[in-house]
Amino acid sequence: MSTTTPPRRAFDALIAEHGLGFGGDYNPEQWTPDVWREDVELMREAGVNLVTVGVFSWAMIEPTPGAREWGWLDEVLDLLHAGGIAVDLASPVASPPPWLGMRHPETLPVDRDGVRLIPGSRNQFSPASRVYREHAAAITRDLAERYAGHPAVCMWHVGNEYGQVDHGDEAAREFRLWLGRRYGTIEALNEAWGTAFWSQRYADFDEILPPRRMPYLVNPTQSLDFRRYSSDQLRECYRELRDVIRATGAAQPITTNFMGFHALTDYWAWADDVDVVSDDQYPDPASSDSPADIALVQDLMRSLGRGRSWVLMEQAISATSWREHNLPKSPLRARRDSLQAVARGADAVCYFQWRQAKAGAERFHSAMLPHAGSDSDVFRGVRRQGEDLKKLTAVAGARVPAEVAILFDWSSWWAGEEPARPTERLSTMTEVTRWYRELWRRGVVADVVPAASDLAGYRTILVPHSYIVTPETASALRTAVDAGAHVVIGPFSGVADENAQVLTGRSPVLLRDLLGVSGEEWGAVPDAGSPLAPADDWDAGRAVAQPHAGILAERLRAEDADVLARHADGDLAGIPAITRRTVGTGAAWYVGAVLDQATLSAVIADALAAAGITDALGGPAGLLPDGLEAVRRGDVLFLLNHADTRTDITVTGSHVDLLTGEETIDSVGIAPGEVRALTERRTW
Ligand code: GLA
C-alpha cells in the first residue's frame, strides 16, 4: 500500500492554494515571442492556471547533437510565472529530433513486419534502445537541473502517452532478459508456453524472438508475455527518467499521461510509479454512450490513484482531427465533459492544446484558442469554464466513495483476446463497458479493481469477463461473498491460468464451489440468439420483454445454486444461463452466456438491490431519467444532463447550486446539457 508521499502532498497543496487546475498543453515553440505575450494575457483572462510546456520540444532544445538552447524556454517560463500560471514541465522525449534516428538507426522502432519506422512523425523511438535512452536521460537531466528550482514549475510530465511497441533486435534482447527474470530456466518457459504444441520447444533463451510476422497463429502465451514485457519496458523508460529528475533534487510531483484502458500498458503496474495519476480522454461526441463510457475511464483513474484525485491532462475542447469523421463539441458539451471529470475525482482539467496549430499534422485539431482567435464561441466557452472551476474549489481533494467494484485485469484482457477461440465476437472491453453502463444509468459509482485485490468494503462486485482467474483472485472473491458481498461473474471467466493455459476440469474450475455450478463446453451461439426462460420466481427477469443470450454460452449444470434463467430452445434447451448461490447475506451470481442488455440490466439491478446499494441521490439504485448522470464527490452532488431534453428530479431537502448560486427545495430541474453541483443548505 503506497502512502501519501511528499510529492503527492505538494500536488494537493498546490490545488488547495490555487484551486482546481485549468489549462492545457502549451507549445510555444510553434509561435514567435510576441505571440507568447498574447498567450499569457489570454490565459489569465480565461482563468488558466496550469499549462504543460515542452512535450515536443526536443529538437528545439537540442537542434544538433549535444546542443542546449534554453533561452526561449527561460523566457517562456518567466513569462508564465509572471502571469501567475504554473507549469507542468515536460521531458521532451516522446519525439526525438531527426538527427538521432539518422545517426543511430537502432533508436528507431521496428514493427512486426520488420519495417523500421522513420522520423517525420513522432514517437519514433525504440523503448529498448540503449542509445535512445542515454540521449533521453541526458536531456531530461539537463532540463531538470536547470528548472527544478524555477518558481513556475509545479509538476513534471515525462514523455507523452507511452504506448510504443518495438520488435527490433534490441527488443529481442530485452524480451529474453525479461523472460529470464520471469521464468529462471528455459524448461520453465517451455512449460508455461506449452511449447510441446507445434514443436516449439526452445533449447535456449537466445532462440526466442518477439512475435514478429509468422506463417500462422502465434503461441498465445508468447504473445501475452510480449505484451507484458512491452508494458514493463515502457515503464522502465518512464521510471528511468522519473529517477533522473528526482536525482536533481526536484521536489515536484512527477507524472506521465495515461490513455484510459490502453491496450499496451498495464496501468495497475504503473500506477504507483506516478505521484499523481493523469490521463488523456477523448470521448467521441458522435456516440451517445460516450458519457457513460468515459465515466468508466474516470473511475479507473481514481482507482489507479487509490481514490485520490487525478488530473485530466488532455481532452479536446471541440473536434479531434484523428477520427475518420470528427464532430465538434458545443461549448456546453465541452464544459460538461470537464465538469464530469471533476465530479468523478479530477482536481485539474486540461486540454490538448492551448493555441490551435496552423501547421503540422494536427492543424485541424481544436484548441482552447482556435484559429479564429478569442472572438469565438470556443474561447468564450473556455472563459466560462475558468469561472465555473473557481466555483468548485469546495470539491478539491474530496473523495468519490464507491461501494461497488468492477474487476479489470490487463493480462486477462490480453490473453482473452488472442485469436483462435470459440468466438472472436466476445470482447473484454465491450463486456466491461456494457456492465458498467448499467451502474452509470443508476447513478452508482464503481471503483475499478485489479485481480486478486482486497475486496473488503465492496458490497457488490462485478466481474464482467475475466478470462484468467488465479487462485488468489478466486480466494478474494470467496472471501468477499463470505463477508456478505454480492459477486456477479460473467461469461468465459476463469477459463485460464496466469500463463493463459486452459484449466482442465468442469469450469470455471477455481470458481465452481463458490458459484455452485459447473460447465463442460463453451460454444458460439447462432446469430439468431438463444431465447431464455426466466424462472417463475425471478421477477426482474420475467419483466424483460424477450430475454436472450448471444455470442457465447456454456453447457452448464447447477449443482448448488438457484437457476434464474434457462435456455429455452435448441441444443441448449433447459441448460441454466443465469444462476445464484446464496451464502449467508451474500451471493455468488453466475452469468453463463452473453446476455442481451435488458436481461443483463435485470441481473445487475437485482444484485445491487440485494446488496442494498443506493444511488448518488441516496435512494434505491433504480434507473435515472435517460442521459442523467448522478455522482457524489465529497459533499457535492453533481447532476449532469447528457440528454437533449430537460429533466426534473427529486432531491430532498434544500440545496444550493455552486455553479449558479440558485437554491433548490426538494426538486431540481436540469436543462439539456447543463450541470448542477448541489450542496446541502445548512440552516443553522
Ligand atoms: C494525444 C497526444 C497529443 C495530441 C492529442 C490529439 O493525446 O498526447 O499530443 O496528439 O492526442 O488528440
Return the DSSP state at 90.
Answer: E
**Where in the chain is CATH 3.40.50.880?**
404-611
Question: What pLDDT does 51 receive?
Answer: 98
Q: Is 614 helix (H, G, I), strand (E, B) or coil?
A: strand
pLDDT digits (tens, 9 = 90+) for 544-585: 999 999 999 999 999 999 999 999 999 999 999 999 999 999
**Where in the chain is CATH 3.20.20.80?**
7-171+208-393
Which residue out of 352, 354, 365, 368 has the highest number of ligand 1 atoms within 8 Å of its CB and is therefore the one to mutate? 352
What span, in angstroms and rounded, lies between the C-alpha atoms of 346 and 279? 10
Q: Is 225 helix (H, G, I), strand (E, B) or coil?
A: helix
**Residue 26 dihedral angles phi and psi, to the nearest 5°:** -120, 120
DSSP string of 98-159? HHHHHH-GGGS-B-TTSPBP-SSSS----TT-HHHHHHHHHHHHHHHHHHTT-TTEEEEEES
Q: What is the mean pLDDT of residues 36-51?
A: 98
**Where in the chain is CATH 2.60.40.1180?**
628-680
What span, in angstroms and rounded, lies between the C-alpha atoms of 13 and 397? 10
Dihedral class, residue 345 (left if φ above 0, else alpha if ψ from -120 to 50, else beta):
left
Q: What is the mean pLDDT of residues 74-83?
A: 98
pLDDT digits (tens, 9 = 90+) for 436-483: 999 999 999 999 999 989 999 999 999 999 999 999 999 999 999 999
What span, in angstroms and rounded, lies between the C-alpha atoms of 5 and 253? 9
Residue 674 Cβ inside 6 Å of ligand 1? The answer reads no
Q: Would the pTM of this model clear 0.95, i.e. be above it?
A: yes
Yes or no: say if 179 and 229 are a contact pair by the CB < 8 Å rule. Answer: yes
Q: Among 161, 174, 431, 554, which one carries the catalytic annotation?
A: 161
318: pLDDT strictly greater than 70 = yes
Q: Report how far ligand 1's centroid is from the alpha carbon of 9 (Å).
A: 28
What span, in angstroms and rounded, lies between the C-alpha atoms of 347 and 13? 11
Residue 161 Cβ inside 6 Å of ligand 1? The answer reads yes
Domain 628-680 sits in CATH 3.40.50.300: no
Question: What pLDDT does 1 receive?
Answer: 46
Q: Return the closest-CA partner of residue 472 out of 411, 521, 531.
A: 411
Shortest-distance Cα residue to atom 4 of ligand 1: 352
Residue 107 Cβ inside 6 Å of ligand 1? The answer reads no
Which atom in ligand 1 lies closest to the alpha carbon of residue 257?
Answer: 8
Q: Is 85 helix (H, G, I), strand (E, B) or coil?
A: coil
What span, in angstroms and rounded, lies between the C-alpha atoms of 211 and 226? 7
What span, in angstroms and rounded, lies between the C-alpha atoms of 465 and 525? 17
Question: Grid coordinates standing for 641?
Answer: 444532463
Q: What is the mean pLDDT of residues 636-654?
A: 97
Q: Is 523 helix (H, G, I), strand (E, B) or coil?
A: strand
Give, in order, the Cα–Cα distances in Å from 312 to each of 25, 101, 315, 635. 11, 32, 7, 21
Q: Return the closest-CA partner of residue 403 out of 443, 374, 369.
A: 443
Q: Residue type at 579?
A: T
Provide the pLDDT confidence category of residue 684 given band limits of 50, 70 and 90. low
- For cell 457535492, what's the residue? 636
Q: What is the mean pLDDT of residues 318-326?
A: 98
Residue 353 Cβ inside 6 Å of ligand 1? The answer reads no
Which residue out of 280, 297, 354, 365 has the highest number of ligand 1 atoms within 8 Å of its CB and is therefore the one to mutate? 280
Alpha helix positions (H), 248-321: 267-270, 290-304
**Catalytic site includes residue 314:** yes
Q: Report how far ligand 1's centroid is from the alpha carbon of 363 (Å).
A: 12
Q: Report how far ligand 1's centroid is from the alpha carbon of 162 (Å).
A: 12
Which residue out of 162, 356, 362 has the highest number of ligand 1 atoms within 8 Å of its CB and is therefore the one to mutate? 362
Residue 279 Cβ inside 6 Å of ligand 1? The answer reads no
Provide the pLDDT confidence category of residue 2 given band limits of 50, 70 and 90. low
Strands, E assignment, 226-359:
254-255, 257-258, 278-280, 310-314, 346-351
pLDDT digits (tens, 9 = 90+) for 123-163: 999 999 999 999 999 999 999 999 999 999 999 999 999 99
Q: Report how far ligand 1's centroid is from the alpha carbon of 326 (Å).
A: 14
Mean pLDDT, the chain, as a whole number? 97
Kindly give, in sequence order, each residue whose CB lies less than 8 Å from that of residue 350, ignoring residues fewer than 6 positions away. 21, 22, 23, 24, 25, 50, 51, 52, 311, 312, 313, 314, 315
Q: What is the mean pLDDT of residues 31-54?
A: 98
Q: Report how far ligand 1's centroid is from the alpha carbon of 308 (Å).
A: 25
Query: For every residue of 380-426, which 3-state class applies, written as one string?
Result: HHHHHHHHHHHHCHHHCCCCCCCCEEEECCHHHHHHHCCCCCCCCCC
Residue 174 Cβ inside 6 Å of ligand 1? The answer reads no
Q: Among 170, 314, 431, 498, which one carries the catalytic annotation?
A: 314
Q: What is the mean pLDDT of residues 224-241?
A: 98
What span, in angstroms and rounded, lies between the C-alpha atoms of 249 and 467? 44
Q: Is 351 helix (H, G, I), strand (E, B) or coil?
A: strand
Question: What pLDDT does 682 receive?
Answer: 76
404-611 CATH choice from 3.10.129.10, 3.40.800.10, 3.40.50.880, 3.30.365.10: 3.40.50.880
Cβ-count burial of 145 within 10 angstroms (0-12 exposed, 13-18 middle, 19+ buried)?
Answer: middle
Q: Report how far ligand 1's centroid is from the alpha carbon of 362 (Å).
A: 9
**Catalytic site includes residue 498:** no
Residue 498 Cβ inside 6 Å of ligand 1? The answer reads no
Beta strands at 517-524 and 257-258: parallel, antiparallel or unpaired: unpaired
CATH code for the part of the protein at 7-171+208-393: 3.20.20.80
Q: Report how far ligand 1's centroid is from the alpha carbon of 281 (Å).
A: 9
Helices (H) and strands (E) in the chain, counts: 19, 25
